[in-house]
Amino acid sequence: MASTIRVRAISNGDTTEVQALVQHPMDTGLVKDAQGQTIPPHFIQQLTFEHNGKNVFLANWGPAVSKDPYVKFAFKGANKGDEIKISWVDNKGANDATTAKIQ
Amino acid sequence: MTMRLPIRLASVALAFAVVALAGPSARAADTPDPVADAKAFQKFFKDKFPQLKPDDFVNGPYSMNEDLHRQWEEKEQFPPYEFALEAGKEMFAKPFKNGKTYADCFPNGGIGIRQNYPYFDEKEEGKVITLELALNRCREANGEAPLSYVKDDMASLTAYMAYTSRGKPMDIKVPNDPRALEAYENGKRYFYTRRGQLNFSCATCHVQSPGERIRAEILAPALGILNAMPIYRSEWSGMGTTSRRFTTCNSQIRGVPLSPQDEDYRDLEYFLSYVSNGLPISGPGARP
Amino acid sequence: MRALLLIAGLLFAGSAPALAASEADFKAAFATAEAAEKEAGQLRNQWTTTEAALAAAKKAAAAGDFDQAVSSAKEAEALAKASIFQATSEKERWKDMEIR
């Protein structure tokens, strides 16, 4: 099955710019379906970006984040060719992870 | 004698009044001239936005506002329609239960043909056929249930087909057939007719006010407005087809929407696509 | 005294609520509104607010509030008639907006 995480990391001088698109319903638990039943909450609780064993970006999310969230950030101390690892865990205990090389 | 003069004057005044009132509605019936219409349509928008390159019009609101444009350029690196596009590619390749595929229903196997839709079916029905209608007919002809015209599955399929046509100029034909010309005119009429309790026509927003705001949204120009279809709309948190936009727009102006592939909507799509001929397909697209 | 009571009684009888709508009133008002909305439908120009007013009228009638039901039905009729006027006048007026 294809990964739920799309990521691109680009080296720009001493800064690395990272973009990621994560496929996830991010249901708030406040919405009702067509039959009037509440759709239970289903959202990513933690999203981490790791480089050299250290977390360079850590997000603690809740239901306020929209469906298929997009993240963009920059960090220092990485070089072209390095690997970053991205992983998430949601409130149902599901998770996914992927790695990407910095271009 | 004194009684008749005032009556005579009154009747003359009434005659003048009737003629004056009859003025605006006594317009001669025009013979449809799509070529002239398209020329005037494109000129109108190019004159209104002289700083834009013709191709810019297909990006709708993003060409109307610098800040929006910057955000959109960033977004295009990781477009929100990516998931739908991949799903569409898979759907398109997957055979039906009877072993046939979508490729069997379309010219060139369905690849790189989106810019030819909608087209007027002269040979059989004498009606406008949209891509979505053709896709569902393909499904039904091969024993599959039709897809909803407004939701994600249909939009994923057309997203993939639009992607294979990216960059190709819109190429809609209005043959010299009175039925085709009538369908074209009907679409044009629909576009300019005010409807709904809010009394808006499509033109109210997309001809009179492109680049301006309606509440928090920036309005797109009508020229090239369908070239980016289908779109991932942040408002919908998902993909949607042209039908989805037509029906939701009707509701927004408090008009009861027609059914998604109603003839009026197909004719409207026909007109709008035709007057944007020459502008590139930019679908699938993303919108606020 | 008796005359006073008699007059008072007549006055009260005269001021009995003359505004309460009956079910028959509602049915008549609703039928008129529905007919107008149907005509708007043939012109393919119904408004969502007309539909909402018709629904509100039905709901009020079901709850026995015929005053409200008649009021909503009359509003629906007015909205439907306005939508008919819009569709009819737009038959020519659309040309005013046309890019030529």
- Cα–Cα distance measured from residue B18 to residue C87, given in angstroms and rounded to the nearest whole number: 23
Nearest to C49 among B188, B197, B207 (CB): B197
Taking the domain B32-72+80-287, which CATH number applies? 1.10.760.10
What one-character-per-residue DSSP string does C67-91 give? HHHHHHHHHHHHHHHHHHHHHHHHH
**pLDDT at B24 (0 to 100):** 46
**A31 part of contact set with chain B, CB < 8 Å:** no
Q: What is the dihedral of CA B190, B191, B195, B196, to 10 degrees?
A: 120
Q: Percent of chain B having pLDDT more than 70?
A: 90
Among the partner-chain residues A19, A23, A66, the one whose CB lies closest to the CB of B77 is A19
Q: Which residues of A touch B237 (CB under 8 A)?
A: 66-68
Q: Is A89 helix (H, G, I), strand (E, B) or coil?
A: strand
Average pLDDT for C52-66: 96
Nearest to B192 among C82, C86, C94 (CB): C94
The answer to whether the pTM exceeds 0.80 is yes
Report residue B17's pLDDT band, with 50, 70 and 90 as the boundaries.
Answer: very low
Residue C20 · residue C68 · CB < 8 Å: no
Euclidean distance between CA atoms B62 and B79, whole angstroms: 14
pLDDT tier at C4 (50, 70, 90 boundaries)?
Answer: low
Candidates C37, C38, C42, C48: best to mutate against B (most CBs of B within 10 A) is: C48
**Taking CB atoms and an 8 Å limit, are C83 and B40 in contact across chains?**
no
Q: Lowest mean pLDDT: which of A11-20, B10-19, B174-183?
A: B10-19
Chain A residues closer than 8 Å to B87 by CB: none
pLDDT at B23: 44
Does residue B15 surpass a pLDDT of 50?
no
Distance CA A23, CA A43 (A): 11
Q: How far apart are CA B11 and CA B71, in angstroms?
A: 66
Domain ranges of chain B: 32-72+80-287
Q: What is the mean pLDDT of residues B157-184?
A: 96
pLDDT at A3 (0 to 100): 81
Size of interface B-C (CB pairs under 8 A): 56
The tokens for C35 are: 């007919």
CB contact under 8 A, A72 and B74: yes
The residue of chain B nearest to residue C87, with distances taken between CA atoms, is B195
Residue of B nearest to A21 (CA): B78
What's the pLDDT score for residue B8?
A: 56
Q: What is the dihedral of CA B103, B105, B108, B109, to 10 degrees?
A: 0
Looking at residue B151, what is its pLDDT? 82
Find the DSSP H helices in chain B.
Answer: 4-22, 34-48, 66-77, 82-93, 131-141, 152-163, 178-192, 202-206, 242-252, 263-274
Q: Is the pLDDT of residue B131 over 90?
A: yes
Write the CA distances from B158 to B161, B170, B232, integer angstroms. 5, 15, 12
Q: For chain B, what percent of residues have pLDDT higher than 90?
A: 80
Look at residue B5 in the predicted model and tell me its pLDDT: 59
- Give the gyration radius of chain C's Cα atoms: 21
Which domains can be identified in chain A, with CATH numbers? 5-101 (2.60.40.10)
Read off the pLDDT of each residue in B8-19 and give the average, rounded to a whole number: 50
Closest Cα partner for B55 from B272, B280, B273?
Answer: B280
Q: Average of pLDDT values for B122-142? A: 95
Per residue in C36-52, pLDDT (tens digit) is 999 999 999 999 999 99
What confidence score (pLDDT) does residue C1 get? 67
Which of B189, B197, B258 is nearest residue C94 as measured by Cβ atoms?
B189
Task: Assess whether B205 carries a catalytic annotation.
Answer: no
Active-site residue, selected from the candidate residues B105, B138, B202, B249 = B249
Phi, psi torsion values for B127, nearest 5 degrees: -135, 170
* Average confidence score pLDDT of chain A: 93
* Chain B contact partners (≥3 CB pairs within 8 A): A, C
- In Å, how far is A54's CA from the nearest CA of chain B? 25
Q: What is the pLDDT of residues A20-67, one digit of tens each?
A: 999 999 999 999 998 999 999 999 999 999 999 999 999 999 999 989
